[in-house]
């Protein structure tokens, strides 16, 4: 468990298949302690997450990032929330669903991204002054310091998927915290702009 930003920590599980880190994030926002897209946790990670109070929510950004949400719900006895448009396509039975524009506990905004790998793919926005986005499968942090899309075959229409991601550029943000790969802690917006303007 490593600190990325004030009140945001990350732990990772390396995927041999994808040759990428699958990342989970622990947020302390207001009175809430929230996990996002959690991969497997060590006992040390679990104990760290419990310091300072119980975990009360697990947020899942898309249908393919269930990961360990079901088992960790039992561990922490917390509420699991998933995108409304993906809920019916998941093996996990969510406690709650969320939709575009919704304000979640801790002041986290849901920003749904159209035409991605799954219909409910959502980014999570923290308006912290500089601004922080957390994304699931929408963008991969690879190689370190750079961003890329999923392989083209994952999309119905690659150009429409790129258009969907341009919605993020309407927000003021400095940090892009990724579920897959390496997060960009500062200067993320121009890197994303570059990705989305490439031919």
Could you list the mean pLDDT of each consecutive 10-residue stretch along the chain, which spans 199 residues?
Answer: 96 90 95 96 95 94 96 97 97 97 97 97 95 97 95 93 96 98 97 88
Q: DSSP letters along 160-186, please?
A: HHHHHHGGGGGS--SEEEESBB--B-S
- The H or E element containing residue 74 is helix 69-76
Identify the DSSP state of 141.
B
Q: First vs last Cα of the chain: how many Å apart?
A: 37
Token look-up 């409910």 returns 120
User: Can you tell me the distance from the alpha carbon of 166 to that of 159, in angstroms, rounded to the nearest whole number?
Assistant: 11
**What is the domain count for the chain?**
1
* 72: helix, strand or coil: helix
pLDDT at res. 126: 97
Burial class (CB in 10 A: 0-12, 13-18, 19+), 104: middle
Q: Which residue segment(s) compose the domain that 160 sits in?
A: 2-197
What stretches of the chain adopt beta strand conformation (E)?
2-5, 8-15, 20-29, 32-36, 57-59, 79-83, 96-98, 103-104, 108-112, 122-126, 132-135, 175-178
Closest CA to 148 of 139, 158, 135: 139
pLDDT at res. 5: 97
User: Can you tell me the distance from the alpha carbon of 102 to that of 193, in angstroms, rounded to the nearest whole number?
Assistant: 25
Tell me the CATH number at 193.
Answer: 3.60.15.10
pLDDT at res. 18: 80
Find out whether 35 and 82 touch, Cβ atoms under 8 Å: no
pLDDT at res. 61: 98
pLDDT at res. 199: 52
């Amino acid at each position: 468990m490593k600190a990325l930003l004030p009140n945001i920590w990350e732990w990772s599980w390396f995927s041999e298949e994808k040759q990428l880190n699958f990342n989970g994030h622990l947020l302390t926002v207001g009175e809430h302690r929230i996990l996002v897209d959690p991969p497997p946790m060590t006992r040390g990670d679990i104990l760290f997450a419990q310091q300072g109070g119980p975990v009360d929510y697990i947020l899942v950004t898309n249908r393919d990032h269930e990961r360990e949400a079901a088992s960790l719900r039992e561990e922490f006895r917390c509420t699991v929330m998933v995108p409304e448009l993906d809920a019916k396509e998941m093996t996990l039975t969510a406690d709650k669903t969320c939709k575009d524009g919704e304000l979640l506990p801790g002041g986290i905004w849901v920003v749904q991204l159209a035409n991605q790998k799954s219909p409910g793919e959502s980014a999570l926005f923290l308006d912290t002054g500089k601004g922080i986005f957390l994304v699931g499968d929408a963008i991969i942090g690879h190689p370190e310091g750079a961003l890329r899309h999923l392989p083209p075959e994952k999309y119905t229409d690659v150009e429409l998927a790129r258009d969907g991601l341009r919605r993020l550029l309407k927000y003021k943000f400095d940090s892009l915290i990724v579920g897959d790969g390496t997060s960009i802690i500062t200067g993320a917006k121009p890197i994303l702009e570059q990705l989305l303007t490439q031919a």
